[in-house]
Structure 1
Amino acid sequence: MKADSARIKIDYSLYLVTDRSLSQGRSTVDIVGAAIRGGVTCVQLREKHCSTREFLDEARSLQSLLQQHRIPLIINDRLDVALAIGADGVHLGQNDMSIADARRLVGEKMIIGISAENVDDAIIAEQEGADYIGISPVFTTDTKMDIAAPLGLEGIRLIRRAVKIPLVGIGGINVGNIRDIVRAGADGAAVVSAIVAAACPETAAAELKQLLRQEPDALPSVASPPLTFINRKSMKTVANKKYHRVLTIAGSDSGGGAGIQADLKTIGANGCYGMSVITALTAQNTVGVTGIHGVPTPFVQQQMEAVFGDIGTDAVKIGMLFSPELIKTVAEQLKKFAVTNIVLDPVMIAQSGDKLLQDEAIDALKSHLIPMATLLTPNVPEASVLLGREITSMDMVYEAAKELCRLGCANVLIKGGHLEGEDSDDCLYLGEREEMIFLFAKRIATNNNHGTGCTLSSAIASNLAKGDSIITAVRKAKQYITGAIAAGAGYTIGKGHGPVHHFYQFEQTKQ
């Protein structure tokens, strides 16, 4: 998705980010006023520890000042504040609202920026329609604590080669390195303490501005060939590399569209090393399931012990568990090996409508596995079975998610694909924060939707294995499954519900 040409054009070269904790008792408006005289070209208001009313008052005061100088005001994180005052833009973090959701709320004219901690974040941001990317952090910084390891100048170079939209470096930037940021390929430098904490913000800004005006010693290369998808995450040779390991515990689908087969495709497509524990064999194709053969429980245990005892895992995705005995055994092994990042997809019914779980296994699922889950991912029919009542609308989903969370799991993602309508929205309930996040998507008209639940949950597990937060992991997985469904919609395979296109990113790269 490309940025809308109707949005204002911003000079990102000297981008000031406010921080009240560094202001030494001076007002934000006074500091920004001095910085404007020194030459800042863009201002982001960042307030983490004030009330909404205080934030709005300060934003309006700052907006009045900036409008006199035709300098854009960007609001950090708070979309509600940006909308309330009619700011020029909003800057989002990886754990904030998605770009697509934000765009629906703000319309087409407001600038949307987003922080990126690696090349993959940047690529996704550009695909979702971000107007600019804040590369964070470039260097070590004390102004933000909840950030990844510094990317350095090489990180800027890699991201510059991967995306075309404007880049702003942030984190530890000062007079000693600001020119290096631009040489590496950034369109601007976001400065916090070097201006806000300076004895004279005007002089500090002017010095930084002068350095940016100087002819660079070497311009960033624009002729470098684009990076391929598989190499974008890292270009460095590292001794003793380690995989991001994901174990799927699920049934086999002989048709290849769901179950273990879909899980392993998804895990590989999302840059992780996949392992499997097979719990059941199914005779299955795009039309239906004609037979189920449960793997003996002792052999399931043996598979788990073999993987955990040698390779280990960074995340586990659990799918089809046919019987109460099997569920108890899996739970015991997860406890024995202290496994974390457990994504539980309570597979009960196949896309064809065939039943995949014994009735008595539902109680065992509630008692033994759901309380261990980092994330429970039922679709609407599965959530209805677990709660013993029918869920027929999105209005009922919120209470259903909260009630499922009370079964003991940390978080719940209810997938809305089975509801009627033109949208296919999912609802993520964060148990600890008691917060609901909606993930919006338009329904894609296709019969090729076999294995979507397996694919989504495996993608989430893969993202957790790579260290993403639960919110980021789910958002990235939603992006992936939406793309996989769209890419697979035009294919014909079998006579019923076909699979999604698990490797669509690689096909796009070749094109």
Structure 2
Amino acid sequence: MAPYTDLTMIRYAITSRAFHPGTEQEKQAALLAEASRWIVEGIDFIQLREKDLPAAEQVHLARKITEAIALSSNPTKLLINSRPDIALATGAHGVHLTSSPGELRPAHVRTLYADADHEPPLITISCHTLAEVQLASQNKVHAILFSPVFEKPLLDSSPLPGQGLGQLKAACSFASPTPVYALGGVTLQNASSCLAVGAAGIAGIRLFQSVTAK
């Protein structure tokens, strides 16, 4: 029997203001409203993934989200995509990294936090191969986002083929005891199949959005 169920699985929501219509200011306001809804619903993690925004605007969004979390009794955690400096400056709970060559490694982030005399951060990382999964687990991250599990629709190009449940199962085995969250084409309808092969939770951008992409 899978250790997680539809009731106990981890839910990991990733922001994208591109899903919201209007001006830049309206998009950011809608993103914050969405994040507030996620906090009220008890979403476990929110990843702020607005990489194209200037640092000052990312700081503004992160501070608003951390303020909303502080006012809530729910245990939502905020992670900043690839920016430990912004995470430190805003009191976010940690950082999300990628496995791409040349990107920050978990050790780099931990050193930055230690140099700032700050408690160790939560660190999650995206992986697309079993080799990346194994390395991430060795680096003792808190969770791995493995993708794409299912065919992943893209806004501006053809869908990205999924790797399938067999590969997700292998990723969970390679990662153990680090939890793996299924990402890429995951829906509320196929979430149970991800849990059945060992995933601890589900992650997504579209998955938790209350609006439809344009």
Per the alignment, residue 173 of structure 1 pairs with 186
Q: Which has the larger radius of gyration?
A: 1
Structure 1 distance, partners of 2:198, 2:128, is 16
**Amino acid across the alignment from 2:191:** I
Deviation at 1:144, TM superposition (A): 8.1
Query: Are 1:24 and 2:21 matched, yes or no?
Result: yes
Q: How far is 1:82 from its partner?
A: 1.0
Contact 1:44 1:74 in 2 (8 A): yes
What is residue 14 of structure 1 aligned with on the other side?
A: 11
| Structure with more relative contact order (C-alpha pairs < 8 Å, separation 6 or more) | 2
- In structure 1, stretches of 5+ residues that fail to align are 1-10, 200-511
CA distance in 2 between counterparts of 1:158 and 1:150 reads 14
Percent identity between matched residues is 28
Question: What secondary structure does 1:73 align onto?
Answer: strand
Q: Retained in 2: the 8 A contact 1:168–1:189?
A: yes
1:43 is paired with a residue whose SS is: strand
Amino acid at match of 2:84: L
Q: Which letter does structure 1 place at the counterpart of 2:166? A: E
State the Cα deviation string for residues 153-203 of structure 1 (Å, max 9, x = none): 11110011122111111111112211111112111101211322537xxxx
1:484-503 counterparts in 2 under 5 A? none
TM-score by length of 1: 0.35
Give the CA deviation at 1:36. Answer: 3.0
Letter of the 1:92 counterpart? L
1:88 to 77, 93, 102: 93
Please give the secondary structure, in 2, of the residue aligned with 1:65: helix
Distance 1:38 1:160 in 2: 27
Q: Residue deviations 1:67-106, cap 9 Å, x none? A: 2223111111122211211211101001221122222112
Aligned: 1:193 with 2:202: no
Q: Which amino acid aligns with 2:180?
A: L
Q: Is 2:91 aligned against 1:73?
A: no
Q: Determine helix, strand or coil for the equivalent of 1:130.
A: coil
Q: Is the 8 A contact 2:10 2:200 kept in 1?
A: yes
CA distance in 2, matches of 1:52, 1:105: 18
Aligned equivalent of 1:35, options 35, 38, 41 = 38
Contact 1:78–1:90 (CA under 8 A) maintained in structure 2: yes
Amino acid at match of 1:45: L
Shift of 1:123: 0.7
In structure 2, what residue type is equivalent to 1:170?
L
The aligned length equals 189
Matched position secondary structure for 1:129: coil
Q: Does the CA-based 8 Å contact 1:12-1:168 persist in structure 2?
A: no
Query: Residues 77 and 149 of structure 1: is their aligned pair in 2 closer, same or farther, counting only changes over 3 Å?
Result: farther
Query: 1:128: Cα distance to partner?
Result: 1.6
In the alignment, is residue 97 of structure 1 matched against residue 117 of structure 2?
no
The amino acid that maps onto 2:195 is V
Cα deviation, residue 145, structure 1: 8.2
3-state SS, counterpart of residue 59 of structure 2: helix
The 3-state SS of whatever aligns with 2:79 is strand
When residues 51 and 90 of structure 1 are mapped into structure 2, their CA distance, relative to the original with a 3 A threshold, is same
Query: What aligned pairs does 1:400-439 form with structure 2 within 5 A after superposition?
Result: none
State the SS of the aligned residue for 1:48.
coil
CA contact (8 A) 2:97 2:104 kept: yes
- Give 1:46's aligned residue: 49
CA shift in 2, pair 1:126/1:13, >3 Å: same
Do structure 1's residue 152 and structure 2's residue 164 form an aligned pair?
yes
Check the 8 A contact 1:22/1:197 in 2, yes or no.
no
SS at match of 1:74: strand
CA RMSD between the two structures: 2.4
Q: 1:162 is paired with a residue of what secondary structure?
A: helix
Cα 1:92–1:12 change in 2 (3 A) is farther
- Are the structure 2 counterparts of residues 143 and 82 from structure 1 closer, same or farther at C-alpha, using a change threshold of 3 Å? farther
